[in-house]
Amino acid sequence: MPSPDRPRRVLLVDMGGVFFSYSFLKAIAAWATAAGQDPEQLRERWLIDAPFDAFERGEIEPAVYMEHLRHLLAVDLSDEQLERGWNSIYGTTDATLLALLASPAVRGRFDAVVGVSNTNVLHAAFWRHLFREELPVLDAVHCSHEIGATKPSAEFFDHVAAAHHTTREHLVLVDDIAIVTDAATALGIRAHTYQDPAALAAYLDTLDLAKDRS
């Protein structure tokens, strides 16, 4: 438990790209195989567009996004085929990172270590099951489709901070996308662009959390 004279310190760990690896090219390949089309043509058609963002904010249902995806890619695939490809993107977790997140070096600095993710209901349900043995190293996971906002918006980070009874100034974000960490820094959040566990451990060693004040 944190001392009553200091705020709660929370380490935020991005899920896709940090906690686990993934490649969206696997989804493109799966859809191309199922549709009998050239993967390169599907890759050129694929867009992170307004419906994609809305899906990640939980604003549209899976069936609505699957219909949009079917038209976007110009494929005659069922929802089941699209979803199977959609969830084929996942790789592995890094045992060294998991050990670091559970270590006294991290747990002695932070009152909570939580996952954060821009994701949708289909992806989240799949990876929560796929990585069910690794997820307990995190105290909680916060997903954009549940919050109604995506990283790196202030709304996303303030929601997570409030859930852990702290403020964004006492969050530390680990994300693999520099645009996200730069935006978080502009919001007053300490942030590290993830490359590997060793670099993350070195970054955490530079933090002077003892200077945190409520």
Convert the pLDDT of each residue in 34-47 to its tens digit.
999 999 999 999 99
Alpha-carbon distance 208 to 181, whole Å?
19
Paired tokens of 10: 């929370």
Tell me which residue of 162, 100, 102, 94 sits closest to 136, measured CA to CA. Answer: 102
Provide the pLDDT for residue 211: 60
Query: What average pLDDT score do residues 4-14 get?
Result: 86
Q: Are 212 and 9 in contact (CB under 8 A)?
A: yes
**pLDDT tens for residues 18-67?**
999 999 999 999 999 999 999 999 999 999 999 999 999 999 999 999 99
Element (H, E) at 21: strand 20-22
Tokens of 22: 């993934």
Q: Which tokens in the block code for residue 154?
A: 């202030």
Average pLDDT estimate for 86-91? 97
The predicted model gives 136-157 an average pLDDT of 98
Query: How much is the average pLDDT of 116-140?
Result: 98
Average pLDDT for the chain: 95
Closest Cα to residue 146, out of 130, 132, 128?
A: 128
> How many contiguous H segments (helices) and E segments (strands) does the chain have?
12, 7
Per-domain residue ranges of the chain: 10-21+92-211, 25-86
d(CA 47, CA 153): 21
Stretch 4-17: mean pLDDT? 88
Residue 100's pLDDT band (boundaries 50, 70, 90)?
very high
Tell me if the domain spanning 10-21+92-211 has CATH number 3.40.50.1000: yes
The answer to whether the 10-21+92-211 and 25-86 domains have the same CATH topology is no
Nearest to 47 by CA among 15, 65, 21, 69: 69
In this structure, what is the dihedral angle of CA atoms 170, 123, 125, 94, given to the nearest 10 degrees? Answer: -60
pLDDT in tens, 161-202: 999 999 999 999 999 999 999 999 999 999 999 999 999 999
**d(C-alpha 148, C-alpha 143), whole Å:** 9
Give the class (CATH, top level) of 25-86.
mainly alpha
Whether pLDDT at 5 is above 80: no
